[in-house]
Chains A and B, each alone.
Chain A
Amino acid sequence: MRHLLVSGCVLVALAAVAAAQGSPRAWWAPGQGTSLPEVSTYDNDRGQLGVLNASGPLDTKGHPFFEPIGTNGRACITCHQPADAMALSVRSIRERWAATGGKDPLFAAADGMNCPSLPPDDPRSHSLLLERGLIRISLPWPPQRADGTTIDPEFTIEVVRDPSGCNLDPVYGLRSANPSISVFRRPRPVANTKYTTHQNFGIGPFIGKNGMPTSTDPLTGKPTSMNLMSDARAPTLAVQAEDAAKNHLQIAGALSAAQIARIVEFERQVYVAQIASAGAGSLAEADGPPAFGPRNVAAGDAGVLGNNTTRYVFPMAGKWTTLPRTSNEAENARNAARESIARGHDVFMFRTFWIKDSMHLNSVGLGNPTKRTCATCHGMHMTGMDTANGWMDIGTTNLPWASEVPLNPWNEAKPQMPLFRVTCKPTVKEHPFLGRVIYTQDPGRALISGQCNDVGTIVMQQFRGLAARAPYFSNGSATTLRELVDFYDRRYNIGYSEQEKQDLVNFLGAL
């Protein structure tokens, strides 16, 4: 039965990797013990990514971020690869499978398989990881608070579709002895963390989007941005490290305080950004736009609003708007590419469209619909994240907007993602935009908060290193930056021109 449900695309995809990409790129293996330079660069399809250790070269030997401290052979570095902007691209995943025959610790059964109960070493058992770069996240149902007490959720949840088999699995599923829900999500970049963990503008004791109490740092008691993870379940880098060590590294026991401190110390000084563009050349010139390159990211102000014309989200400083043409064709091509990036910036910053029916955006005082721009939500200076606690529903996981396989007699592809039916209880108000019954591939924040209005809300990601870490969105539903732009174009009926789309893609690819 399960074999009928998993996609046959996996083998085709792996063959394509071998044919199209030749030899594997550098993979940072757990425990390899080499030094991570102050600045390292890694090729990708749109140029080069730069990784900056602001504290200087790092000796990784014995470092808990780089050593396989768990029982499954993984390290933090396994899913946070320098070449992939300290995240993990599906390209690297496929290369790793091809290089190791699926034996790399990345493919550990616990979360590197669609479900641990599936047959090992079969690519179909790992299809979500191999095809969409998704790691299995098992969350308790009903939701639990940080102290382990149970939350009475505002909704009931049913499994409508279970291609992985894990949500109905007798050991791992919703009806098991430890009722759990499996959702599948992309690893996030562990870099530029002064932005993802800021405690500045928009952060207070109550969440500015719904008035609920903000998660606090267990060490300091201060409110946090809750912007680290797609469901905001870990308020700090330290808590995230502990969570990851337990669930992804399957560590025996727990991280020591010293290990946590070293991991956090590393994560607080590592910066990533595209450093060179295949078309536009260097993104790190001294007189270039200060929006680009890891050193500019490291120098930026954390947790400040950039959705304004005094600071800007990604400051271009008026550069590259109009560049000269000469008899040098190569220079002309470079300048044209730079102008496209500048135009893409203006599309991001100034191109208005109607944003409608998006929870935690239209519900926060802007009206429904609101005529705004990309930078309205993606407003944090230098990262394009939300400065406030940033989960929203833009439709990446909730129907009717989530990407679904078209079902018809002529299409052999089958759905890969689970589908849940969420029913808001009669004692609570219905969801203001989706009603009382919501179909979703991933309930997102609602699996933590238990709140109906949070169903399908996902914490938005930073824009840095996008070229190095496809696919996009928390469920990997956009294979390319163009698909990402197309999703927004469909979702909000934007009507981008072909030029606007291309410029926006070029801009995003330069970040």
Chain B
Amino acid sequence: MNAHRLAGAGALLLAGSLASGAVVSIKADEARKNFVSCPIVRDTASVPCWLTEYEGETYFLTVQSDVTAPVTPPWLGHRVLVEGTVSAEPRICGGVVLKPVHLSVLPARDASCNVMLPAEERYNLTFEPPRPPGPSKGRLAFDYTPPTPPLTSSAATSTREFVIAYDFDATVGFNHARPLSDVLDFARAANAKEIEIVGHRGAVLLSNGQTMVEDPAIGKTRAEQVAMLLQGANLKGPSYKVTWHDEPAKATGVDDYLSRRVVVTVRAE
């Protein structure tokens, strides 16, 4: 983690006028857990469980499935930003279930994150995982979520807004091929005249009161990269308007992952 971008408790108080509402909200919602920790992988008789520990408790993050999973497992060798909510589900693999949960593999390597636990009978899954640890049974683990519906009702057929979500401090990766294709498909079908791209820089209020802010240039980097990729896919007809926000979003501790995004507006008229 980048120390200069992590504000301590004192800094949080200093910024109280901005964040006080969020702090109250967090205290009122003990179920929300936002923290950075090392992931832990536990083997089972089937697919591995991904866990982590925070303040003396073990949390269940996800199980291994495939590339269609809405929550994909983190990486040993890297810390993970966890943004989740404690659910009422029974423990899985010994961990309190965080659901929904958003995981961001942090870019910096951390060799201390290297715990692999062996399978134990008491931690075997009590449900059939979305797919086994080898060949599937003929279908992918999850259905692909259809693209975002049009948000601009007055011009639904000619303008569409797409939100591209990111992990913390991340740019385009494996999980962006689909969303980018959605943009491309619509722009081509609509014979787009203009594409407006706005990059955003996110921030997360952690459960310990600290705020984690993304790289100062990430909004610019994201926006320019999306433009470059669409043009690289030969979408060169429309004009491009590329802007970004250098200031991070206000972190509230509630769904802060939504602040890490690029908004692409495709206009055909």
The chain A residues found within 8 Å of chain B, CB to CB, are 204-214, 216, 221, 307-312, 349-350, 352, 354, 356-357, 362-373, 375-376, 429-430, 432-433, 435
Chain B residue numbers with a CB within 8 Å of A310 are 137-138
Query: In the bound complex, how far is the Cα of B133 from the Cα of A307, in angstroms?
Result: 11
Chain A residue numbers with a CB within 8 Å of B41 are 367, 369
Q: Are B66 and A206 neighbours in the complex by a CB distance under 8 Å? A: no
* Residue B91 is within 8 A (CB to CB) of chain A in the complex: no
Q: B73: which of A204, A357, A366 is its contact (CB, 8 Å)?
A: A366
Q: Are A373 and B107 neighbours in the complex by a CB distance under 8 Å? A: no
Closest-by-CB residue of B relative to A435 is B109
A-B residue pair count with CB separations less than 8 angstroms: 129
Q: Are A375 and B135 neighbours in the complex by a CB distance under 8 Å? A: yes
Q: Are A352 and B133 neighbours in the complex by a CB distance under 8 Å? A: yes
Interface secondary structure of A, over-half rule: loop
* Residue B177 is within 8 A (CB to CB) of chain A in the complex: yes
Q: Are A307 and B50 neighbours in the complex by a CB distance under 8 Å? A: no
Query: In the bound complex, how far is the Cα of B48 from the Cα of A206, in angstroms?
Result: 29
Chain A residue numbers with a CB within 8 Å of B233 are 205-206, 213-214
Q: A357: which of B77, B108, B134, B173 is its contact (CB, 8 Å)?
A: B77
Q: Are B107 and A429 neighbours in the complex by a CB distance under 8 Å? A: yes
Q: Are A213 and B229 neighbours in the complex by a CB distance under 8 Å? A: yes
Q: Are B176 and A211 neighbours in the complex by a CB distance under 8 Å? A: yes
Interface size of B by CB at 8 A reads 42
Query: In the bound complex, how far is the Cα of B74 from the Cα of A204, in angstroms?
Result: 26
Chain B residue numbers with a CB within 8 Å of A432 are 75, 77-78, 105, 107, 109
Query: In the bound complex, how far is the Cα of B109 from the Cα of A362, in angstroms?
Result: 14
Q: Are B136 and A307 neighbours in the complex by a CB distance under 8 Å? A: yes
Q: B76: which of A208, A216, A368, A372 is its contact (CB, 8 Å)?
A: A368
Chain A residue numbers with a CB within 8 Å of B259 are none
* Residue B268 is within 8 A (CB to CB) of chain A in the complex: no
Q: Can you list 26 A-B contacts (CB < 8 A)?
A: A204-B181, A206-B176, A206-B180, A207-B177, A208-B67, A211-B173, A211-B175, A211-B176, A212-B229, A212-B232, A213-B233, A307-B134, A307-B136, A308-B135, A309-B135, A309-B136, A310-B137, A362-B75, A366-B64, A367-B50, A368-B76, A371-B133, A372-B133, A373-B134, A433-B77, A435-B109
* Residue B23 is within 8 A (CB to CB) of chain A in the complex: no
In the A-B complex, the 9 residue pairs with the smallest Cβ-Cβ separation, listed nearest first, are A367-B73, A310-B138, A368-B75, A213-B232, A211-B172, A365-B72, A211-B176, A206-B177, A364-B174
Closest-by-CB residue of A relative to B39 is A367
Chain B residue numbers with a CB within 8 Å of A365 are 66-67, 69, 72-73, 174-175
Query: In the bound complex, how far is the Cα of B184 from the Cα of A173, in angstroms?
Result: 41
User: Residues 152-188 of chain B: 1 if any A CB is under 8 Å from the residue's CB, otherwise 0?
Assistant: 0000000000000000000011111110110010000
Asked, given contacts A204-B177, A210-B174, whether A367 binds B134 with beta carbons under 8 Å apart, the answer is no
